[in-house]
Structure 1
C-alpha cells in the first residue's frame, strides 16, 4: 500500500480542525481555490529551501526542507480528497503505466 489509511485519516482530521479555525476566523471554510493558493505558497517556500540547500539562496523561512516536503504532500492529499480522487488508486495506475512505458520490471 502506497499510503496507509491511517495516514489519510490523520490528514483528514487535521484538515477538519483547520476548517473549524477558518469558520471561526473568516466565517466559512476555505474554498478549493484557497487550498490551492496555500499549496502554491508552500511550494514557493519549498523552492527557497531547496535553493538554500544548494547554496543558491539564503534561508528566510521558519521551516525545514523536510517539514515543507511533508506539508506539500499533505496539501495534495487534502486536495485529492476534496476532488473525490482516490489518490492511492491513481498513484498505482500512474506507477504501473510508467513502469510499462519504461519497461521496468519489479
Structure 2
C-alpha cells in the first residue's frame, strides 16, 4: 500500500498539469505562426484519440503480434506520457480541475471496490 500522503500525490499531479500546459503554450505559439490560429477543442480531442489508439498498436508490438520500427518500450513510454499530456490539455480546455477530478474519482472507485471486497467471501 502506498504510504504517501494524498496532498503530496495531488501536488505531483498539479506539477504535471502545470508542465503540460507550459508545453501546450509552446505548441500554441507554433500553431499561431503556422496556421494563424490555435487548435480547436475537436482537433485536440482527435490528437488525443489518435495517440491513444497508437498505444493499442504498441501494446500489440510489445506482445510481438504487431511489428513496428524502433524501440517498442521507448515508444510506449513516449506515447503513454503523451496521452497523459493530452488529458491535462483537454481538461484545461474543458475547465476540469484534473488533479482534483482524479483524486475524487480514485477515492470513489476505491471506496466502491472496498465495499465490494467486504461483501465477497474470502478465498
Whether TM exceeds 0.5 here: the answer is: yes
- Which one has the bigger helix percentage? 2
Partner of 2:91: 80
1:34 partnered with 2:46: no
1:20-99 paired onto structure 2 within 5 Å: 20-60=29-69, 64-99=75-110
RMSD over equivalenced CA pairs, Å: 2.0
Q: Is the 8 A contact 2:13 2:99 kept in 1?
A: no
The structure that has the greater radius of gyration is: 2
Structure 1: gaps spanning 5 or more residues: none
TM-score by length of 2: 0.77
Shift of 1:99: 1.5
CA distance in 1, matches of 2:21, 2:111: 33
TM-score by length of 1: 0.88
1:3-18 paired onto structure 2 within 5 Å: 3-18=12-27
Aligned length: 105
Partner of 2:6: none
